[in-house]
Amino acid sequence: MITVKDSVFDEQQPGPMVICLERAYGSMNLQALARLDAHLLEAVDGSSTGLLIDLSETVSIGCRFLDVLLRCYARTTQCNRRFAVCALNPWPARVLAVTRLRSLWETFRSRQEGIQAMQWPMVIPFK
């Protein structure tokens, strides 16, 4: 089973590694999720600015998939890189809102919006 539809990274342009996931993530088995986990962590290590997960084709997500995303988020923050998701469909958006992960991760309406925003360093307001 192919776990990633598309990976985009241009070494000539600053910006995030973009991973576009396939539609089948709501019902993935443990082996497929382990492969996805390894792929995402490798992508984090290969990007100088961060990782943007495109969920435009993902219509359902479960707790194991969220666990993969949480590990990926932890790695990006350990490496001082950014982690974001974009193009959320209604159900994944609702799951992220209910679990409050949407407040933890940057979210963007589209892939292009995410790429543009992540080309610049994240500004954290001083409180």
How far apart CA 47 and CA 45 sit, in angstroms, is 6
This prediction has a pTM of: 0.80
> So what CATH class is 4-118?
alpha beta
Q: In degrees to the nearest 10, what's the CA dihedral of 21, 71, 91, 19?
A: -20
Across the chain, which has 127 residues, the per-10-residue mean pLDDT values are: 42 70 69 86 84 88 89 92 93 92 92 86 49
As a three-state string, the secondary structure of 36-88 is HHHHHHHHHHHCCCEEEEECCCCCCCCHHHHHHHHHHHHHHHHCCCEEEEECC
Structural domain spans, the chain: 4-118
Q: What is the pLDDT of residue 60?
A: 83
Q: What is the pLDDT of residue 45?
A: 85
